[in-house]
């Protein structure tokens, strides 16, 4: 009797697994580089570098309802010899969640709820020569940029969705109080007396209301090549200058072998409320990486 019951449970579980509306995809890449010199007359410096990048996507689709979770991140370090100092070469984390209800099954137009969060994994420091200047100029959740929006989604073609959100919100949260007091990342600074001492600490969060446009693209133009792009533009109704604050992230991976791929990561950030020299930030990274891909 017992084995019959276990057999029945296994059959029902297998049928339920087939019908599950969830789809999960993941990509994990590891990259490394080394330069070793000995009596090299052309010059150079010994160094060792390593990086880790990942992309995890979960999609739930059933009738007119869809829900997606997209997490991507990258972290890299460089060790310079003989100074024995480690410096970051890349560092970001982005989480995007989206829920939709189509007006028609497999329709191009849907009601959309969108939320995302962006931060970094480890502290960043300034350097003077080989010395590290503390405290950190940024860190995990310092800052954290969070956004949420309600709007309409339009899908021109499969794999590309556009969301128009006239009602949206944005928060900038700085976990470290000394950065908030300094007015970092667009926050109003703390009140200080004539001696420079803090009289009233700054608020660690800045809330804004505004309008938002978002584009999400995921496609496979040729076999072995996966391309994803996230574009977000936010205009504030409550802060000056109003914007727009623009975030762009491109990730592309071309599989040379099942376990080897060429990857490209490019980020562009523009915030008109930061000091002029800091408004536009760019990051481009090429790598030949060992990869592990999981898909249904």
Query: What is the overall mean pLDDT for the chain?
Result: 86
Give me the residue spans of the domains in the chain: 25-37+45-294
Q: What is the pLDDT of residues 163-179, one digit of tens each?
A: 999 989 999 999 999 99
Q: Region 150-163: what's the mean pLDDT? A: 94
Reduce the DSSP state of residue 295 to 3 states and report it.
coil
2 φ, ψ (degrees, to nearest 5)? -65, -45
Query: In terms of Cα–Cα distance, which of 88, 156, 163, 152 is closest to 122?
Result: 88
Do residues 142 and 179 lie in contact, with contact meaning Cβ atoms separated by under 8 Å?
yes
Q: What is the pLDDT of residues 70-104, one digit of tens each?
A: 999 999 998 877 666 788 888 999 999 999 999 98
What is the value of pTM for the model shown?
Answer: 0.84
Q: What is the pLDDT of residues 238-262, one digit of tens each?
A: 988 888 999 999 999 898 888 888 8
**Dist. CA 295–CA 24, nearest whole Å:** 6
Q: Where are the beta strands (DSSP E) in the chain?
A: 22-35, 47-62, 65-80, 85-102, 109-119, 124-128, 131-138, 144-157, 160-173, 191-192, 198-200, 205-219, 225-236, 245-255, 260-270, 280-294
Q: Region 196-201: what's the mean pLDDT? A: 94
């Amino acid at each position: 009797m017992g084995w019959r019951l276990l057999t029945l449970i296994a059959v029902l579980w297998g049928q339920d697994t087939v019908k599950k509306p969830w789809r999960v995809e993941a990509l994990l890449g590891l990259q490394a580089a080394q330069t070793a010199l000995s009596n090299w007359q052309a010059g150079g410096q010994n160094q060792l570098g390593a990086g880790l990048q990942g992309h995890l996507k979960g999609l739930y689709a059933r009738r007119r309802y869809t829900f997606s979770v997209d997490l991507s991140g990258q972290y890299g370090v460089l060790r310079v010899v003989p100074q024995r100092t480690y410096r970051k070469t890349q560092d970001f984390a982005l989480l995007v969640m989206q829920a939709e209800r189509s007006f028609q099954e497999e329709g191009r137009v849907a009601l959309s709820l969108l939320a995302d969060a962006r931060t970094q994994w480890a502290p960043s420091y300034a350097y003077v020569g080989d010395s590290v200047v503390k405290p950190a100029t940024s860190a995990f959740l310092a800052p954290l940029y969070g956004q949420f929006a309600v709007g309409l989604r339009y899908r021109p073609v499969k794999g590309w969705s556009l969301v128009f959100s006239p009602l949206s919100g944005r928060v900038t949260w700085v976990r470290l109080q000394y950065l908030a007091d300094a007015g970092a990342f667009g926050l109003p600074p703390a009140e200080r007396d004539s001696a420079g001492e803090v009289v009233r600490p700054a608020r660690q969060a800045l809330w804004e209301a505004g309008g938002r446009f978002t584009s999400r693209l995921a496609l496979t133009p040729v076999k072995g090549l996966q391309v994803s792009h996230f574009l977000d533009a936010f205009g504030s109704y409550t802060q000056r200058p109003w914007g727009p604050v623009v975030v762009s992230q491109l990730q592309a991976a071309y599989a040379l072998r099942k376990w080897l791929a060429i990857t490209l990561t490019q980020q562009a950030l523009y915030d008109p409320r930061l000091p002029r020299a800091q408004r536009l930030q760019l990051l481009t990274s090429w790598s030949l990486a060992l990869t592990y891909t999981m898909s249904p």
